[in-house]
Structure 1
Amino acid sequence: MKKFLGLAAVFLCATFALSVRAGVDCTECHGEDGEPAINISVFQNSVHGDLSCTDCHVGADKDMDNHPDNLKKPSCTDCHEDVVESKQHSVHKDLSCTDCHGDIHTLDPDKPISGDADRIMAMCGKCHADSANAKGGKACPNLDLAKKLPPTHGILKHYRQSAHYLKKKKDGSAAATCTDCHGSHDIGGMTDPKSSIYKLNLSKTCGQCHEKIAAQYDRSVHGKAVQRGWDESPTCTCCHNSHLVLPTDSPEALTNKRRVSEKICLSCHEDQRLIQRYGLTGSIGSTYHDSYHSMANARKGSKAATCVDCHTTHNILKTNNPDSSVNPAHVAQTCGQCHKGATEKFALSYDHKSSLKSGNIINYYVRVSYIWLILMVIGGMILHNILTYFAAVIRSYRKRKDEKMITRMTKGQIIIHTVNFLAFFLLVVTGFSLRFSNIPLFHMLTIWLSEGARALIHRIAAVIMILVFGVHFVRIAMGRADRGAFLAMLPKLKDIRDFKENMRYIFLRTEKRPNFGKVTYVEKMEYLALIWGTLVMVLTGLILWFPTEFLHFLPAWAIKVAETIHFMEAILATLSIIFWHFFFIIAHPDAYPLDFTFLDGKMPVEEIKHARPDWYEELKEKGKID
């Protein structure tokens, strides 16, 4: 009972004090049931608890008849003049104090925003939320301003994964929060010279915690370049990121030892635009890639040197600087970190110039000599084997003259096959030359063609293939021989048995070969794949040829899908021809050195007897062979 009376006394005293200071009893309208309601006890314990209502709501007690229309908007300037002044020049000038700080009647002095990473993130996250959809959302107190915000989604997500946040959460040690880098009230944009995140000021901002590193950076070639106005010279955030600042031992960090050279250093030092604009050495990337260090690092060698092992991380100085780690006076010591007993002479053997003509002319001519030697020796071997192969082809063809032959393809079928193959070849060359123009093979094949000529040839070849496809089915409909050949290509249960028997033969489970007929399952699979592939390529090709017309009745995503299908089907068809069709007409033991059926349409009787016994028996029954 005493406790209850004590609490009641405190509440009454607080209410009395508030009403006395104000000259009126504000709680009559703004008590717990008022509008707006003020919790008096919470207010008395807030950071503003020693203020009266009229300290902020000036004149509220003077003219009660016109209250609240006579009220002026509360201003924080009277007490926080310097803060309000700095905010007027910040990117948040259109925000009110309460947009960030919340209800000033409830600010707890024991829970300040500053220094608490989670509270700061909650405050900044009202507008700078993780989700792109949250931009301008209800959480942001100033919707008009929020609509003008640049995309900032991912900032808080990245910060929560950063070394700064994780360190602070782990042991409460000092680590950067939003306000440590951006400031509290005087937050400027990246292009504002007074901003803490302006390029020239970044090292100073980061140097608040990383003082030694910032000093090293400021005197480095990168820091000096920024000071001279070279706006593309890297700063802290270029290498370490702005918000996703990961520890260097993190596998995802760009500054990780295994990634730093390729992902950070060479991203600039191999950029031809930067090399030309700033007169950088253009061979840094190629000479590094030519070194053991790069090759071992690519294989995740734990001891392989990267750029920062030799040039240091932040204190990167010109070679002629006496303090540089690669200055002649220190280079042996630098190499000695890994190579005990290294000398300056040793260092010269592994610098960026050692693989260049200007740095090692003897190595250059040895390399060039070997390139020519390889071309001549291996080229001679290839030429020798090509001649050997064609000699075998010629002898095999001459041998056919003395063999009894059976017609397998009519002249019409030979013509269709030949024209279709030539059209297919042109489509492959002109199609892949567009997609893989950087590959020397395709570049050389079309080096004499302009893009317009390439596209024209590709479309002409496509039209030819469509016509051949149409002629083929007209012949099937009208010609008995072609119709019979088509029906023979349709799958049968025997094909399954032949496949099983062939697998047993391939895996040496039997010495008896399958009793193949005139058409094997191999040829049926290829023929049906040809029909399907042609239909797919024609349909998707027409969509890509006439996209505006097709978009009258197709959705927008269909164009890209057609492009993907066209490309992938082209790869599938090309590889099928190389590894399936060519194998069975060239590399298969029964066909080597070449199956000539596609040239004259005939097949030796002995080959039929050996490779297609069922067809051989069928021919005997029909009296076509003895």
Structure 2
Amino acid sequence: MHYEGLVARLRRGWASAAIVLAGLGLAGLAGNAAAQAEAGAAKKLDNATCLTCHDGNKGKLEVPTPAGKPRALHAVDPALFGKGVHRQMECVTCHVDIKDNADKANAHQKDPTAPLAKVDCATCHQELWDQTVKRGREDERPRLKTVATNIENYKKSFHARPNPDDKTKPNATCSQCHDTHSFAVPVNKASPENTQWRLSISERCGNCHTDQLDTYKESVHGQENAKKMLADAATCSDCHSAHKVANTSAAQFKVSLTGQCGNCHTRQYESYKETFHGAANTLGYAYTAKCQDCHGSHDIVRVENPASKVHPDNRLETCGTCHNPKKGLPPVSKGFVSFQPHAEPGNFQRYPQVTVASWGMTALLIGTFAFFWLHTGLWFYREWVERRARGGGHPHVRIDEIPAPLRGKQFQRFTPIWRIAHLMFALSVMVLATTGMPLFYPEVPWAHAIMNFFGGPKVTGLIHRTAAVVFASIFFWHLIYVVIKLGSQWRTWKIFGPYSMVPNLKDLHDCIGMFKWFFGMGPKPKIDRWAYWEKFDYWAPFWGVTIIGVSGLMMWLPSLVGQFLPGWVFNVATIFHSEEAFLAVVFLFTVHFFNNHFRPDKFPVDVVMFTGSMPLDEFKREHPLEYERMVQTGEIGKYLVEPPSKLRMKLSRLLGFTLIIIGLTILTLVAIGFFSDAAGRAPAGIVV
């Protein structure tokens, strides 16, 4: 209820009371009541009364001060006030220490040398919102809810902190940004009024930030707004926000600013997040390059402008601000100039190398998964059908099919050194996947958790590279071992023989035979020492190490590589490294796990790689050609061992289950990241 309405009601009440009293013969009392009503009306403080002095039409409105210098009082433009959001309020609603208007010369019954109390906008609006919440009417007043939210943000902002020059005052108050007497933010963002309001923001901020305003006016953002008068380009509140203004030197602000840029430059933001700089920033770490580090802040100009920090003539210097020995990084080299931090796979005209690399890796992934997932699905179906036909359980070879001297023995398939190598290989791959995938999917929650667990990108990167060295060491040790082994057997070893890992025609025939068996069109082919899927598992690390290893080494030593190769090779290396890692993780923890653990004849875990030996009947069933050849030649006796003890079997199963659980956990995290990334792709945005 407004003050004006309240006075009117009081006047009507006193008049009614006078009539009643007169009717009762109390005319004297009635006269006194009427006189008091008239006196109250004379002291009424409505807006019209205030504007008789504060309308600005009577020259300067000043009052004396003890210092002798007059203090100017505020003048209100009635026309602007009539359009503001406070137009229906009385002046005294906010200026609560003004009690009456009996003596203008005494400035509303106050010492004229003492200023009136500052109006507290925040307290007033917060009280109104608290009352609204108490009455359960929040949905009826959405604008008030926005104001309440802005108040909370302001209290935590840089503007609300004490001013360094005067600790009794904040850095900025509501009235410094909002003219409370004419404040009216246009609700319709598409309206000309809203455009004009946006265009005025930089000038309002510039009242305090004069140097920044002068620089902004010369920037591409300021020039766009000034030239087109459409306010399409960024203004102060777009980057700094309006009420959550933060200290620009704080890490949190630096990290969040890239997202503010991405609100307009969506395509550039999405491509930036594909780089190491962007991934670390998305994970919440501020030490990598961000938009403002490369492009500037208030002084941003177009890339083709010679003054731009990212102009080709200036890029080495710009990159060198971070990539220098003082910051613990090798110095920049000429390859940095042509690195594309916003390369878009698919835009062949602008980024042909990146597009070809992306298309090539996509084809490799689709081809590999299409074949082996089909192979896996059909294999599962055939074994499940046969398992159901025999009434369940694993298949067994009849005891009388194994010579009596061999019964109860196991065939040693892998020596201790190969089992250790396999375990180290598996562990290093799992560590590489765990520490590398957060950078591949930095926006999913588990990526933040993993990165924080390891202590941030720097520590995680060190662990990742250590695991890579272990992985590569095992790989190269294997190559040396193979070379030495072949050197000692060069007279008898056959490149396409049964003990060779080199694919041959029999592997092709076995593959075709397996598909016939899948569809019930023939018997299961007899496998020799190595099956074609085992050979694929063997050779996969060769191209995997080549692609992942070489690309990872290039990104590990960018300054050295950049001395000899152009910068776009880093874009290609990033695609090769991440996509091949994705292929390796998904293949290992789906196809490889199925082939060795999850198919019905093996489920739930096969421990041959942990014990080194397998039951003789299983060996005869899985590798019948090798078994028959060894029995005929008498060589099988060399490889027969006693079954592992119960304790060893339990430990082997425990190790196997542990590795399987870790692998499936990594696979689940990758699946979450993949589908979250696919669902969150942003639409095309501004192209610069």
Shared fold, TM over 0.5 = no
TM-score scaled by length of structure 1: 0.43
Query: Per chain length, whose mean CA-contact separation is higher, i.e. which structure has more relative contact order (CA < 8 Å, sep 6+)?
Result: 2
Structure-2-length-normalised TM-score: 0.40
